[in-house]
A and B are shown apart, each in its own frame.
Chain A
């Protein structure tokens, strides 16, 4: 009877010891190959990386932005708009302008097609002011400068806005290094027609199967 118990105890001890030993060995083997996230965790970052993207920005005019503790810059916009300031033509309310010069009204802005939400939701006046054409306005009729048009977009596109501030939406200018300068919404999306077009791919590959040596 006693030898029975002894032999069971011995078997159990051997099994436990064996499993512990193998787990130690496995751990050591695992230590040999490191994961990226372990590397990130174990590397102290001191923010003194010796590289800058200033020289790749040339003489870009920028406006600085400060949202949720993130500081970056976006390109200055008003200088890019061909017929800014708008008040040089829009010196009277739109209705009056149309009444005075109906033909000119038809010709100006002929190239702008509004393909942004439906008529029920948006028209020119959703963003452009009736009285002050040199600025945009929010839903609650607060003034928004053309330089800060992202505030206007953020009224509806909250997800994209958050991702843009953080860096999961949009595109950097100059490079990956600091200082952070990124495109603002209207640098990639035409605000009147924000979708991307369908087009032919810029380069195709007719010899990929040969390259892969699967003849």
Chain B
């Protein structure tokens, strides 16, 4: 009886995965998409719960099954982290025949990442946005973008209400200047405070990350962020297989699924390897500077100490690690 129920639950769950596989998802399957009547699903779930308790300790080789019941990444032991990375890598290659290099690299001791944006240098080219989308495997269909470039009329000064965020004309336009925004990785992040399941948190190097497999999609963080820094997957993200960036990090650019939050991670897969985020590397005008704000000799520290820097909505006390300055 218990085994029966366990199988039923496993079937229900696997069917869910197959369904979402056709749309190209990894990690937990989209069980919500599977249409089942309330009675049978309840029966299966209750029975399944009993069965799992009864069968604790028995080895279960099914990757999908284990993926489904894994814990919050923040609370996992190193072995558990390695195991889930192995499973996700294996599942990706089973689905697509291709290999991803999924990293679980931790924060480098002695680093606290900060970012500076030179308002006088930005020309509105949008090369940063392009590089970000390609690097971080963002959904192509909904044009999801972590970075916004706001075109501002010089007459109005820095006024986000009156800015044009969807310009498509030649840039820089006469009488206008450009300001980029993205996740500011606040030192005091309101998005982290409101998450009811602790699926988002701040790492030791100051990067605010999301466990895409723990996020329940309530979007409280989206509402709490005063900077329009967070994005939600209203649909299954679509990235053509040949365009998928295979150099991934568990907390960074690995493929997401429908119903979860995502945002800029300062390209955690790059920055923890000493590289600059993709936006910084792509900017042709040098408007973007990234570095370790604990290092007194870093470029970012030079900017903080020698330029007249400001942050957005400083009065909120969110302490963004993203500064603006002008020449």
Contacts and interface: CB of A to CB of B under 8 A. Distances in A.
B110 A45 contact: yes
Contacts of A33: 188, 317, 319
B164 to A, nearest CB: 10
B114 A201 contact: no
Interface string A36-77: 100110010111111111011000000000000010000000
B271 interface: yes
A139 interface: no
Contacts of B274: 51-53, 55-56, 174-177
B275 interface: yes
Interface residues of A, number: 51
Contact of B114 (A36, A45, A51, A211): A36
A166 B299 CA distance: 6
Interface string B111-133: 11010101000011111011001
B187 A205 contact: no
Contacts of B187: 34-36, 39
Given A199-B171, A202-B130, A172 B299 contact: yes
A40 B171 CA distance: 38
15 contacts: A39-B112, A45-B110, A53-B274, A167-B289, A167-B302, A172-B289, A175-B275, A176-B271, A176-B291, A200-B169, A201-B167, A204-B168, A205-B143, A205-B148, A206-B166
Closest 10 pairs (CB-CB, A-B): A167-B299, A177-B274, A166-B302, A201-B126, A175-B275, A171-B286, A51-B274, A53-B274, A167-B302, A203-B130
Interface of A: 33-36, 39-40, 43, 45-53, 55-56, 70, 159-160, 163, 166-172, 174-177, 183, 188, 196, 198-212
